[in-house]
Amino acid sequence: MLQMLQYPLSTGSIHIPPSQNSGQRTRTEDKPIIDPKYYAGPGGAIDLEMMASAQKFAHKIVSTKPLADIIIGRVWPPPPPPPPPSSSQDSNNTDVEEEDFTEWVKDNTTTDWHPVGTCAMGPAGKGYVVDERLRVYGVKGLRVCDASIMPLQISAHLQATVYAIGEKGAQLILEDWEARV
């Protein structure tokens, strides 16, 4: 069972790398520097607590009948070691309320490959990249028409929204082309 943090409070960054050779410009072949900054910043602790709680809840779901009857055992994260034989705890019952998934979550978090906001739309001079007509501030003739313009994540798969952004971008380009004549 997979948990996703739909609205993270921690935010990462993506930057064009500095030139490798003095005097040379960055090339299209140069890979961007991506730092997701999972669980960093003021909201990072809340994000981590949410994901650890979600993992605990997922474990509780798959450990509860009738689903537990068809699941052979936990694979990932690895189950905790069984209690020592002298323990009064039933060896077949791992107390999920006591299990702490925080370190496992921290070490195994990955992206869901639906990033947004890397070129967010908003007012000029406030850290945004594109205007309401999808034009990149300070770069003539360049627009961005994909999920990167959305300043916040949405509660759905991105595909339909990206199609709509692309269609709107095409419409804006045509409007601007016709207005110039």
For the chain, give the DSSP string.
-----SS-S---EEEPPPPSSTTPPPPTTSPPEEE--TT-STTHHHHHHHHHHHHHHHHHHHTSTTHHHH-----SSPPPPPPPTT-SS-TT---TTT---HHHHHHH----S----TT-B--TTTT--B-TT-BBTT-TT-B--SGGG-SS--SS-SHHHHHHHHHHHHHHHHHHHHHT-
| The pLDDT of residue 57 | 93
pLDDT reported for residue 40: 94
Would the pLDDT of 93 be above 70?
Answer: no
* For range 57-82, the mean pLDDT: 88
Please give the pLDDT value at position 91: 44
Region 68-97: mean pLDDT is 73
Residue 81 has pLDDT above 90, yes or no: no
pLDDT for 167 equals 98
> Using CA atoms, how far apart are residues 46 and 60, in angstroms rounded to an integer?
21
Which residues are catalytically annotated? 114
Q: How do residues 146-171 score in pLDDT, each as one tens digit?
A: 999 998 888 888 999 999 999 999 99
The answer, yes or no, to whether residue 9 has pLDDT greater than 80, is yes
| Residue 83 structure tokens | 């209690």
pLDDT band at 4 (very low <50, low <70, confident <90, very high): confident
How many percent of the chain have pLDDT more than 90?
A: 51
pLDDT class of 92 with cuts at 50, 70, 90: very low
Amino acid at 168: K
The whole-number pLDDT of residue 102 equals: 94
pLDDT of residue 95: 57
Q: Please state which of the ranges 6-10, 97-101, 175-179 shows the lowest mean pLDDT.
A: 97-101
Tell me which of 17 and 140 has the higher pLDDT. 140
What are the backbone dihedrals phi and psi of residue 136, each rounded to the nearest 5 degrees, phi first? Answer: -75, 130
Which region among 15-24, 37-46, 61-70, 154-163 has the lowest average model confidence (pLDDT)? 15-24
What is the model's pLDDT at position 16? 84
